[in-house]
Amino acid sequence: MNYQVLARKWRPHNFTEVVGQAHVITSLTNALKHQRLHQAYLFTGTRGVGKTTLARILAKAMNCENLQDFNPCGQCDICRAVDEGRFLDLIEVDAASRTKVEDTRDLLDNAQYAPNQGRYKVYLIDEVHMLSGHSFNALLKTLEEPPAHVKFLLATTDPHKIPVTVLSRCLQLNLKRLLPSEIFTQMGFILGQEGISFEAEALKLISRAADGSMRDGLSLLDQAIVYGNGAVNNDEVHAMLGSIASQPVESILHALAQADAGAILNQIDDLSQLSPDFSDLLQQILQFLHRVALVQHVPTTLTHDLDVEVVAHLAKAMTPEDVQLYYQIGLLGQKDLELAPDPRSGFEMVMLRMLTFRPVQNGNVQSVQVQKPVPQTQVRPQAQIQPPQVAQPIQKQTASMVSNTPNFSDNWETILVSLKVGRMIKEIAKHCVLESLDETQCRLNLDPNQHSLLDADVTAKIESALREMFGKPIVLTIDVKELATHTPAQQVVHAQENRQQAAVDAIHQDPNVIYAKTHFDAQVLPETIQPY
């Protein structure tokens, strides 16, 4: 009956056994290697990622009699004493239960005395953010200038609640959340060592449910072993977690990518027989869409994802615009589930909304494959609704478009407005003056100050845009010569200068300004004047 839970039985005892915190381990081993140990370390991170575990390993390494590559050996008397919880020089404190200033003072009274067994006397304070303000003040002086034989190891899930005066005296190490693939690998190793059979899909589900915490994952694994009567099976894990398999989610997303409303509704109908949590189902769809969007923009982002093949396939089947729209509709649809008559109908409307508002591609609205119902009775011709007449607005729109098309008699500034070229090419064209233009040839004169911008590619792009605009095989020639008239770019500059000068004149002529200058010796700062 002395069963020990997996989270405690498989707690790492040295740095090599720690999963997923390589950046922290490197810092600690280098500090041990070069004998540059800080007087106070602060381990931060979410629950179950290894803060207290790493602190204990560091305390063990500081006092180990026989370090193996700067890793605690685990065999000496000190290592065994730390593992068994009887090492006198490791003082572990739960700050959540000892928050008073009197507790902190009692704790520090013995800091001046030399260690009993090891090199250092180590104070490990867990959940240090729970200490009171007076307790932090009592800790400050000792934390800043501790005796040479004293080290402080602090751990917290909420570093924002720690006073900055304490933070500035600590070397902060931020532990990251574990990836589902890292939790999956570690759980598979543990089950192999324990001789327990398991299914990979079940471990994947537990790894995602752990939400980045190894301890939460191992606790769920303990529960799954008991629920599955000594085995970890897919069906039992789904039932235990109250979730559905990922396969229906994948099927819904594949149908969504194909705009097949019938397949989506059929899949939802099959799922409804299992009484699923539609809110959880929508969250799983959002998680898939998030990973699909990441793969579409940065393909190497999810190389360690457990469903990398499925995500990669969906990334090719959906456009980035569709993914962003589906994610936003699903995100807003979570609130609608509570307002819907029932969760299933609310979920169905969210999925149908995704199909209804799909982006337009190539000028045509994407068709949605909806099964048309068969009419029960013949509809009489006089009951049919006539479509609205829209011919007149279309004619007006067409006439407007024709009237805005440039012709050969327009000046160069008017033609530039409709010229379909890039911004850089248009800026070069603005430094030109039109010499002649007809159905076969166009001659432009370029400002000599801008001759370095001219090349064959610029000429070809402007020529192509002119041919597309007028529908004629126009040949473009650009000459660099002194200009007798202002270019469109120069006209814009002159217009801005005129507007600025008009604004300056208006300020100087303003009665209030004149009064201030006369009676108060006020001055107008020209650089502060801006025209409306």
Q: How many domains does the chain have?
A: 5
Residue 3 has pLDDT above 60, yes or no: yes
Quote the pLDDT of residue 153. Answer: 94
Q: Has residue 384 been placed in a domain? A: no
CA-to-CA separations, 172 to 39, 140, 266, 481, in angstroms, rounded = 12, 16, 53, 67
Average confidence (pLDDT) over 174-189: 90
For position 157, which CATH number holds? 3.40.50.300
- The answer to whether residues 125 and 224 belong to one domain is no
503: three-class secondary structure by DSSP: helix
- The answer to whether residues 233 and 266 belong to one domain is no
- The answer to whether residues 205 and 168 belong to one domain is no
Render pLDDT for 30-85 as a digit per residue (tens, 0 to 9): 999 998 999 999 999 999 999 999 999 999 999 998 888 888 988 899 999 998 88
Pairing between strand 364-365 and 360-361? antiparallel
Selection from 146, 159, 222 nearest residue 190 by Cα: 222
3-state secondary structure 248-307: HHHHHHHHHHCCEHHHHHHHHHHHHCCCCCHHHHHHHHHHHHHHHHHHHHCCCCCCCCCC
Residue 329 has pLDDT above 60, yes or no: yes
Domain final residue pick, 154, 174, 194: 174
Average confidence (pLDDT) over 421-427: 86
Structural domain harbouring 344: 246-359
Quote the pLDDT of residue 59. Answer: 92
Selection from 56, 76, 67, 43 nearest residue 12 by Cα: 56
Which residue in the block uniquely carries the two structure tokens 């004998």? 35
- The answer to whether residues 162 and 22 belong to one domain is yes
Q: How many residues does the chain have?
A: 532
Q: Has residue 382 been placed in a domain? A: no
- The answer to whether residues 164 and 187 belong to one domain is no
- Nearest-Å Rg of the Cα atoms of the chain is 37
Q: Which residues contact 446 (CB under 8 A, 6 or more apart)?
A: 428, 431, 432, 454, 478, 479, 480, 481
Phi, psi of 364 (to 5 degrees): -120, 140
Work out whether the CA dihedral 418, 421, 423, 424 comes out positive or negative.
negative
Quote the pLDDT of residue 39. Answer: 92
Gap between the Cα atoms of 527 and 529, Å rounded: 6
Q: Which of 125-134, 262-271, 303-312 has the lowest mean pLDDT?
A: 303-312
For position 480, which CATH number holds? 3.30.300.150
- The answer to whether residues 193 and 169 belong to one domain is no
Q: Which residues contact 365 (CB under 8 A, 6 or more apart)?
A: 358
Cβ distance 425 to 461 under 8 Å?
yes
For position 274, which CATH number holds? 1.20.272.10
Q: Has residue 387 been placed in a domain? A: no
Gap between the Cα atoms of 24 and 45, Å rounded: 12
Selection from 49, 22, 53 nearest residue 213 by Cα: 49
Domain final residue pick, 126, 151, 174: 174
- The answer to whether residues 12 and 157 belong to one domain is yes
Selection from 444, 436, 450, 431 nearest residue 492 by Cα: 431
In this prediction, what percent of the chain has a pLDDT beyond 70? 88
- The answer to whether residues 10 and 78 belong to one domain is yes
Residue 28 has pLDDT above 90, yes or no: yes
- The answer to whether residues 162 and 300 belong to one domain is no
- Cα(first)–Cα(last) distance of the chain, in Å? 84
Cβ distance 212 to 177 under 8 Å?
yes
